[in-house]
Chain A
Amino acid sequence: MKKKFFHNEERTFFFTDHAVPILFLIIVAAGIPLSGYSASYLIQEMLLRLSRDSFLVLSLLVPIMAGMGLNFGIVLGSMAGQIGLIFITDWGIAGIPGLFIAAVLGTPVAVLLGYLCGKVLNKARGKEMVSSYILGFFINGLYQFVGLYMMGKIIPIIKPEILISRGYGIRNAVSLVGIRGALDKFLDLKIMGVAIPVTTYLVIVLFCIFIVWIKNTKLGQDMRAVGQNISVAELSGINVNRTRTISIIISTVLASYGQIIFLQNLGTMNTYTSHEMAGVFSIAALLVGGATVAKASLVNVFLGVALFHMLFIISPMAGKRLIGSAQLGEYFRVFVSYGVISMALVLHAVKARAQNARQRIQMRTEINAEVGEAE
């Protein structure tokens, strides 16, 4: 007898579990012919955007593993990376050396901010996402204070062209011309007219290996145990707070590297706004890939970045062709993408509630059965 690919129940679960990526796939599939872009253009754009954003999104995986949800605190890491970039721009260090030094300068700042974030999130157990989101705003205030007041006044800045005309404070837009495409073009492969930033992908592959490796270490096992059940992890002797703090530190440090990779691709930095969207965009991409607050994998990362950014590419042109206005297409993208993300979060909450209810019923049935047996 032929074996069925899906049983009815399995099929229902498959579609409810993967509702968001399936919905996005349908929207993208409908939008591609409407946009009228050629396949080579779409592939080129996709490869570029995957190389630009994947690292930032990957940095979200570690806290999810530790049960801390989606870490909006990667904004803190982004700020740390940007501080490194400001310094190398000021010192005039270009290319790969510049990127490396920016990462080295950003690391201690990211560790410090990650530690702070971890401590705060340990105090706000169960409300990690909203806490890290608000913490991002708080640290953004400090970052602005450092960038607008301290740099050039207390922290010496040599190049007047990156300072505001009053003599202190970093300009809103800083040109990263020295490091523009430094990593992407270091080893550039062209296949059928499509440029592939090989070095950036190698770095991303290294990161993926790191994620797989850390899962199998003692720390990774601890993180998974904490992620599954804090009380059980505590009872089994795991230092829960320390494990959670370390996971946030790792995420923040990696986010700072991710932001450096992101900005070297763009070649320009909006000092006070570039980091703000890092968290929201990365989390949106991850959710679009089918991840949830409690579970995410490497596949979710790449699928999410590809789908989320495909919508970015096609929506203005599809909107222009469909409605006659690129701006409306962009509004449509914002509406659809964030609507779908909200739906993902709501679905997750509903599913979690349903699962809890199922567990409660199951427990009650088991207890009743045991009581019945005892009687």
Chain B
Amino acid sequence: MSLKKRIFIRIVSISLLLLFCVFLAYIGKQHSLLFDNRNKMINGSKYEARYLYNVSVSGSDPELVEIGDVIRFDVVGPKHLVHVQILDEYENVLREISKPINLFFENFHTLYLPLLAEGVD
């Protein structure tokens, strides 16, 4: 085998290995999902935290998010389904929302629950 061909094969092999590593990093990346139930101001509009929420991520046990609270879920991988139950002050379920989320290489991703309740992305 000529030297050029050998070097070419080596470079291609290393590149493929690196690409595979990037793919593995994408599917194995840990993310922290933050669920924020506090008042939020966006473009001059104020979204008030008025409800309680039961939040679960990709079939995990639901956790209650009280008004003014921020909770954190640690997840692995890029695709998750967030399931949110909107509750009144007596913890009766008013509405349920399911939202698929796609994550890339970010460490943190925040979901503002008052905005989610209002249907704002």
Contacts and interface: CB of A to CB of B under 8 A. Distances in A.
Given A92-B29, A92-B30, A93-B29, A104 B76 contact: no
Given A104-B17, A158-B107, A91 B25 contact: yes
Interface string A77-114: 00000000000000111111110110010000000000
Contact of A94 (B17, B21, B76, B107): B76
A178 interface: yes
A93 B24 CA distance: 9
A96 B23 CA distance: 12
Contact of A100 (B24, B30, B107): B24
Given A92-B30, A178-B30, A101 B76 contact: no
B28 interface: yes
B17 A93 contact: no
Task: Point out which of A91, A97, A101 has the most chain B C-beta atoms below 10 A from its C-beta.
Answer: A97
A112 to B, nearest CB: 15
A173 to B, nearest CB: 19
Majority-rule SS of A interface residues: helix
B27 interface: yes
A94 B76 CA distance: 7
Interface residue tally on A, bucketed by range: 10 to 19
Contacts of B31: 92
Interface string A21-33: 0000000000000
Contact of B24 (A92, A97, A158): A97
Majority-rule SS of B interface residues: helix
A185 to B, nearest CB: 14
A330 B22 CA distance: 45
Given A158-B107, A178-B30, A95 B21 contact: no
Contacts of A92: 29-31, 107
B42 to A, nearest CB: 28
Contacts of B30: 92-94, 178
Contacts of B76: 94-95, 178
B107 A97 contact: no
Contacts of B28: 93-98, 101
Interface in B1-44: 17, 21, 24-25, 27-31
Interface string A145-187: 0000000000000100000000000000000001000000000
A104 B21 contact: yes
Contacts of B21: 100-101, 104
Interface in A58-75: none
A192 B103 CA distance: 41
A181 to B, nearest CB: 14
Contacts of A91: 25, 29
A101 B17 contact: no
Contacts of A158: 107
11 contacts: A92-B30, A92-B31, A93-B25, A94-B28, A97-B24, A98-B28, A100-B24, A101-B25, A104-B17, A104-B21, A158-B107
Interface of B: 17, 21, 24-25, 27-31, 76, 107
Sorted from nearest, which 5 A-B pairs have the closest CB atoms? A97-B28, A97-B24, A92-B30, A93-B28, A94-B76
